């Protein structure tokens, strides 16, 4: 079924065991820090099939240790916190963008109105002439 060779003779087993310890300690090097079999494979630098087909005992050991630990590692909690901050920032930026779009529509309407007024006034200038202002003669 599974090979129960000592950890030092199989480099894949050694890598998985070391990755398991890092994940459970909350100090991942390559993965997100989430306590799952796929993240364990990423952390160990091996294909997932090593855990799901070849080293089932290590997969079961990891799942048992995760269940016994019953806590989220600090590294993954930190990533979740960063994710929440980014989601908040994204929402703020979308609102800011919507405000700018609304302001842009107001400015576009104002510019269009000014352009129409300018065109109307420019058309009048062809018929317009300047008349001198007559001053009443001053009496001594």
- Residues (pLDDT < 70) of the chain are 1-8, 71-77, 124-128, 139-140
Domain range list for the chain:
11-69, 72-125
CA distance linking residue 137 with residue 47, whole number of Å: 106
Task: Kindly tell me the burial class for residue 33, based on how many C-beta atoms sit within 10 Å of its own C-beta (0-12, 13-18, 19 or more).
Answer: buried
pLDDT in tens, 72-87: 666 666 777 888 899 9
**58 sits in which H/E element:** helix 56-69
Residue reference for tokens 């980014």? 86
CA distance linking residue 23 with residue 36, whole number of Å: 9
Model pTM score: 0.48
């Amino acid at each position: 079924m599974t090979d129960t060779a000592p950890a030092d003779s199989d480099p894949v087993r050694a890598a998985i065991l070391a990755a398991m310890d890092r994940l459970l300690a909350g100090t991942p090097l390559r993965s997100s820090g989430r306590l799952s079999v796929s993240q364990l494979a990423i952390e160990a630098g091996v294909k997932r099939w090593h855990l799901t087909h070849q080293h089932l005992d290590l997969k079961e050991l990891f799942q048992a240790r995760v269940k016994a630990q019953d806590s989220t590692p600090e590294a993954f909690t930190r990533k979740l916190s960063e994710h929440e901050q980014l989601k908040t920032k994204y929402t703020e930026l979308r609102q800011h963008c919507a405000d700018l779009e609304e302001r842009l529509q107001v400015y576009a309407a104002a510019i269009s109105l000014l352009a129409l007024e300018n065109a109307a006034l420019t058309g009048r200038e062809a018929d317009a002439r300047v008349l001198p202002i007559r001053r009443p003669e001053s009496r001594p």
